[in-house]
Amino acid sequence: MGQFLDIRKRILEITSVASAIIIWEIIARIINKKYILPSFLEVVTAFLELASGDELYRDILTSLNFFVIGMGAAIAVGIPLGIMMGWFKTFDKAVDPIIEVIRPIPPLAWIPFAILWFGLTQYAAGFVIFVGAVFPILVNTYTGFRNTPRVLVESGKVLGCIKNRDLIFRIALPAALPSIATGVRVGMGVGWMCVVAAEMFGVRTEMFGLSTYGIGWKIWHWNSLHHMDLVMTYMLGLGLIALVIDRLFRYIVQEWWLKWQTGVVV
């Protein structure tokens, strides 16, 4: 019965994707203007041409490089800051007004300062991605710590876990992990969306000499030349890579990070 439901679920998924592709193809053929909406087949052809060389792989590696820099910094800053704010009330009161002023500023607005502070380097792109990703991580870490069940903390204390350091790392952090995982996942989504904006101003990685690569950069490049089939190819590439990153993260979280949760709810 389970297997049957699985097959049925897959058929539904495939049907949904196939329908979207068919509708896209029909609309593109009716419009019949590649620069307004390239058809699915034109995009596939453009993708195959790109995939036959090494340019696409360089673009993907470059964007992932920026993403790793930005996400690494966001996790390194967001989680410790969220822990401090969630556990120490005085620290929270001191830092919260600053965070609340900076948090609503869109990552795009930071681009001029990213260039001025880091130059046209991979760190400038990483900074823009960092700004997009850090706040969801921080807020979810904070929320996870604030919502640590009092009974767990009290039980810890009764069992001899008295120091703040022990309470944070042995009681609150494990309890907050699901919330932190959600924060990192949301942060990764927002951070990946910032890749296009981060690459818009022509930053380059040192991996590939003086040439400029990156999925976001290529979207702007081909847009300038009105090759909308290639623009669409890179856009779908962004979406597919985000999907792979998300699935990979969910797998790691479910199989490693939060394996202890299995059976808690279902």
Partner 1 sequence: MIIQPLKIIAAILITGIIIVSGCTSTPVQQEDEPTGLTELRFGYQPSTHQIAYMAADAKGWWLEDLAPYGITSTGDFQFPTGAPEMQAMLAGEIDVAYVGSTPPLSAIDQGLEAKIVAGAQTQGSDLVLANDLPYESPQDLVGLKIATFPSGTLQDTVLRKWLQDNDIDPQEDVTILGMGGAPAITALASGNVDAVFLPHPNPTVIESEGYARVIVQSGDMWPDHACCVVLVTQELIDEHPDVVEQIIRTHIKATQYIIDNPDEAAQIFSDDIGVSYNISSQSIQDWDGEWVSDPNIELATALEYAKVQYDLGYTDKLLTQDDLFDLSFYNKVIAEMDEE
Footprint on this chain of partner 1 (rule: CB under 8 A): 8, 11-12, 15-16, 18-19, 22-23, 26-27, 30-31, 33-36, 112, 115-116, 119-120, 201-202, 204, 209-212, 220-221, 223-228
Tokens coding 111: 């681009």
> Would you say 88 or 118 has its CB closer to partner 1?
118
> Would you say 142 or 204 has its CB closer to partner 1?
204
* Contact call for residues 193 and 245 (beta carbons, < 8 A): no
* Nearest distance in Å: CB 12, partner 1: 6
* Nearest distance in Å: CB 261, partner 1: 33
List, in order, residues 6 or more apart from 257 with CB less than 8 Å away: 177, 181
Return the HEC string of 83-104.
HHHHHCHHHHHHHHHHHHHHCC
* Contact call for residues 40 and 24 (beta carbons, < 8 A): yes
What angle (nearest 5°) sits at the alpha carbon of residue 183, between those of residues 178 and 184?
100
> Would you say 7 or 162 has its CB closer to partner 1?
7
CA–CA distance, 154 with 257 (Å, rounded to integer): 24
Tokens coding 9: 């679920």
* Nearest distance in Å: CB 126, partner 1: 16
> Would you say 46 or 188 has its CB closer to partner 1?
46
Decide: residue 243, CB within 10 A, 0-12 exposed, 13-18 middle, 19+ buried: exposed
- Phi and psi dihedrals of 57, rounded to 5? -70, -35
> Would you say 21 or 60 has its CB closer to partner 1?
21
* Nearest distance in Å: CB 18, partner 1: 7
* Nearest distance in Å: CB 47, partner 1: 16
